[in-house]
Amino acid sequence: MDRKKELKQQFKETSVEAGIYQIKNTYNNKILVGSTKNFKNLNGIKFMLETNGYTTNKELQKEWNQYGKDAFMIDILEKVKKNVEPYFNEKEALLALEEKWLEKLQPYGERGYHQKQS
């Protein structure tokens, strides 16, 4: 029982980190690039995919169901560097980082799960 309390306390003390992640299908190398204000949320995304409840990207969900969870890797690409400046906006910083990674990886068409914006 003490171990359970210890793990809960450790979870609470873990700092909240924002940044960019990718979900990669190792079968066909397609990727989804995403951003989150808290990397702990990746467990929720994984849970939704495993329970067929990921409605954000139907193609990714379809392929997760088709190939199984072992065909996918979830990786952190970059963390938002915390800034103490009074005008620092984490949401804007996340958007800029996500744009950078979308530009770099080009996860569109056969390469990914994103639709090219016109």
**Tens digit of each residue's pLDDT (9 = 90 or more) over 75-108:** 999 998 877 777 778 888 899 999 999 999 999 9
Write the burial class of residue 101 (CB in 10 Å: 0-12 exposed, 13-18 middle, 19+ buried): buried
Look at residue 118 in the predicted model and tell me its pLDDT. 61
**Positions of E strands within the chain:** 19-25, 31-36, 72-79
Q: Where are the domains of the chain?
A: 16-110
Measured between alpha carbons, how far is 64 from 28 in angstroms, rounded to an integer? 12
Structure pTM? 0.82
What was the pLDDT predicted at 33? 98
Q: How far apart are the C-alpha atoms of 108 and 110, rounded to whole Å?
A: 6
* Residue whose C-alpha is closest to residue 67's, from 24, 115, 108: 24
The domain 16-110: what is its CATH number? Answer: 3.40.1440.10
Stretches in the chain below the pLDDT threshold 50? none
